[in-house]
Amino acid sequence: MVERMNAQTEWPGETLDLFGPRRNAFSERYHLTRRGKLKRLGQITRIANQFDVVHGLTPVKMRLMLEALGPTFVKVGQILSMRSEILPQSFCDELAKLRADADPMPYQTVVDTLSHEYGRPVEEIFSHIDPTPLGSASLAQVHRARLTTGEDVAVKVQRPGVRETMALDVAIMRSIARMVTKMVSTAQVVDLGGVVEELWDTFESETDFLVEARNLAEFKRFCEPYKYMDCPKPYMDLCTEHVVVMDYVDGISVSHPEQLIEAGYDLKEIGTKLVDNYATQVLDYGFFHADPHPGNIIVSGGQIVLIDLGMTGRLNSQTRGVLKDMIFAVAKQDSPALADGLLRFAGTEANPEDYPALLADLDVIVKEFGTVDLADLDIAAFLTSLTSMAQRHGIEVPSTVTTVGRALVTLEGLLDEFIPDVNMIQIISDHIATSRSAGTMVKDEVKSLGIEGAKALHGVLAAASESKVAMRMLTRGQLRMNVEVVGSEEPMRLLSDMVNRLTMALIVVGLFVGSSIVYYAGMKPIIFGIPIVGFMGYVVAFVLGVWIVLDIYWKGRKSKKR
Is pLDDT above 80 for 259? yes
Q: Residue 393 in contact with residue 343, Cβ under 8 Å? A: no
**pLDDT tier for residue 505 given thresholds of 50, 70 and 90:** confident
**pLDDT tier for residue 184 given thresholds of 50, 70 and 90:** low
Q: Residue 291 in contact with residue 309, Cβ under 8 Å? A: no
Q: Give the 3-state secondary structure of 81-105.
A: CCCCCCCCHHHHHHHHHHHCCCCCC
State how beta strands 243-247 and 287-289 pair: unpaired
Please name which of 56, 57, 98 lies closest in space to residue 77, comparing C-alpha atoms: 98
Give mean pLDDT, residues 544-551.
80
Q: Which residue has the higher pLDDT, 89 or 303?
A: 303
* pLDDT score recorded for residue 550: 80
Lowest mean pLDDT among 3-7, 34-38, 329-333: 3-7
Give mean pLDDT, residues 120-148.
93
In angstroms, the Cα distances linking 181 to 22, 175, 195, 323 are: 20, 10, 12, 34
* pLDDT score recorded for residue 189: 44
- At residue 1, the 3 state secondary structure works out as coil
Give mean pLDDT, residues 101-116.
90
Distance from C-alpha of 162 to C-alpha of 156, rounded to nearest angstrom:
14
* pLDDT score recorded for residue 125: 96
- At residue 146, the 3 state secondary structure works out as strand
pLDDT 10s digits, 463-480 = 666 676 666 666 666 656
C-alpha angle 74-52-45 in degrees, rounded to nearest 5: 60
Q: Residue 297 in contact with residue 224, Cβ under 8 Å? A: no
**261 burial via Cβ count (<10 Å: 0-12, 13-18, 19+):** exposed
Q: Which residue has the higher pLDDT, 443 or 540?
A: 540
Contacts of the segment 190-199: beta carbons below 8 A, 24+ positions apart: 196/170, 198/399, 199/76, 199/79, 199/170, 199/173
* pLDDT score recorded for residue 12: 42
Is pLDDT above 80 for 217? yes
- At residue 141, the 3 state secondary structure works out as strand
pLDDT 10s digits, 49-70 = 898 888 888 889 988 898 888 8
Distance from C-alpha of 314 to C-alpha of 323, rounded to nearest angstrom:
13
Please give the helix or strand (H or E) that residue 499 lies within, else none: helix 489-521
Please name which of 349, 325, 352 lies closest in space to residue 338, comparing C-alpha atoms: 325
C-alpha angle 414-247-240 in degrees, rounded to nearest 5: 100
In angstroms, the Cα distances linking 172 to 51, 70, 72, 165, 285 are: 20, 14, 12, 11, 38
For the ranges 90-99, 437-446, 516-525, 552-561, the one whose mean pLDDT is highest: 90-99
Distance from C-alpha of 157 to C-alpha of 241, rounded to nearest angstrom:
10
Whether omega for the bond prior to residue 21 falls within 30 degrees of 0, making it cis, is no
Distance from C-alpha of 466 to C-alpha of 478, rounded to nearest angstrom:
15
Please enumerate in sequence order all residues whose Cβ is within 8 A of that of 303, keeping only pairs 6 or more positions apart, or say none: 227, 228, 229, 230
Distance from C-alpha of 309 to C-alpha of 290, rounded to nearest angstrom:
8
**301 burial via Cβ count (<10 Å: 0-12, 13-18, 19+):** exposed
State how beta strands 15-16 and 126-129 pair: unpaired
Q: Which residue has the higher pLDDT, 112 or 324?
A: 112
Q: Which residue has the higher pLDDT, 83 or 442?
A: 83
pLDDT 10s digits, 340-360 = 777 776 654 555 456 677 777
Is pLDDT above 80 for 28? no
For the ranges 229-238, 286-295, 443-452, the one whose mean pLDDT is highest: 229-238
Torsions phi, psi for 309 (to 5 deg) = -95, 35
C-alpha angle 249-251-256 in degrees, rounded to nearest 5: 140
